[in-house]
Structure 1
């Protein structure tokens, strides 16, 4: 009977046996609700931009379809400022990574500098995108000029709205940092913001590459 009892025992339920010690439990990675929410957002945003990219490519391949006598898909005027804006967004992402690294090292001064630089550069990017819109309007490539220009406005508007959402979190985090909070109190916010900015940079580079296929 003792042999049968031993064979039927579940070691992980046996009294006095704890397969996961307290030290092991503390070493396991834990995700905050903010981190989980960010991952869910990444999934939703990725699907949304992916669908736009697929429709864009399909529509581009069928550009011979016409409305009336004129094709409804034409290469659009390409403001050189878009290259500058892309570089600014890359610098913004680099500044956020700098702030993130400073947070892990416990260097508040470097974290503060990276935080401010990352947010300011993001604002410069948004201002540059609005300037691009005005340049397109002046060149006759407004939102309703062609299907291509409509896609351009849609992509840049959605990307800009997501960036504005990140700037709202940046504002709250900046208030804490400038208000004298310790590094440990803002480390997670800076970390998540940096990851968010890297994601938006990746999205922009992919969509920017698609738009380049139809420049003139």
Structure 2
């Protein structure tokens, strides 16, 4: 092993330059590993929601299934609050992307504002989802009274859990930056966080369409899928 170390020595390069190159290579390898892990996680989440979607579409063809929109008295015929929640998650996704841009420029004040905005809009989204759950219960659309209700609580609850997990990772990212003040590492971590937020936003748009569709839409989709 000592011989191999000796062969890797580059005496024509300054020691400091060689150390910096080694550190940059190590950081790049860590970034690639983290990116691979994130992509694996997103693949797993995709499979989970895909399986839920398949069972949901099958359930829509049952006699006891009542869609949550289509008639004036149904809760999501007017989905204004869900559009509002969608806007919150979109703004969170945009603000974390801006935070990454500001980290590249090493603009600390802009980074803090963007990260605060990301946290605020994400919490507003979760708060809005809880408000929808409470409104459904108050209107008599309990989790056990209709398969559509059950799937709404299930799918939005699983989605919210993934967002809460993202918040924990996001807060760890901020804490690590406060400790080491490494803008390079911050950019790398925010890049992955932004990718995760974008993914959760598009998952939410899919769930929004799926859960607020009327009975005729479900019938058409189910027939196309062969259910």
Please say whether Structure 1 and Structure 2 have the same fold, judged by a TM-score greater than 0.5. yes
Q: Which residue of 1 aligns with 2:33?
A: 33
- With over 3 angstroms needed to count, the CA separation of the structure-2 counterparts of 1:113 and 1:180, relative to structure 1, is farther
1:93 aligns with 2:93: yes
CA distance in 2, matches of 1:199, 1:146: 29
Give CA deviations for 1:42-89 in whole Å, capped at 9, x if unaligned. 1100111111122222322x14x3xxxxx3334352263222111101
Gaps (5+ residues) in structure 1? 1-22, 66-70
Q: Partner residue of 1:139? A: 139
Bigger RCO of structures 1 and 2 (CA < 8 A, at least 6 apart) = 2
Q: Residue 73 in 1 paired to residue 85 in 2?
A: no
**Which of the pair is proportionally richer in helix?**
2
State how 1:120-131 maps to structure 2 within 5 Å: 120-131=120-131
Equivalenced residues, count: 182
SS in 1 for 2:54: helix
CA contact (8 A) 1:108 1:183 kept: no
Aligned partner of residue 184 in structure 2, secondary structure: helix
Cα distance in 2 for partners of 1:110, 1:53 equals: 40
- Partner in structure 2 of residue 9 of structure 1: none
User: Based on CA coordinates, which of the two structures has the bigger radius of gyration?
Assistant: 1
Question: Which residue number in structure 2 is paired with residue 192 of structure 1?
Answer: 192
Equivalence for 2:42:
42
Deviation >6 Å, runs of 4+? none
- Whole-angstrom distance in 1 between the partners of 2:91 and 2:129: 16
Equivalent in the alignment of 1:202 = 202
* Runs of 5+ unmatched residues, structure 2: 1-20, 69-73, 216-227
Partner of 2:166: 166
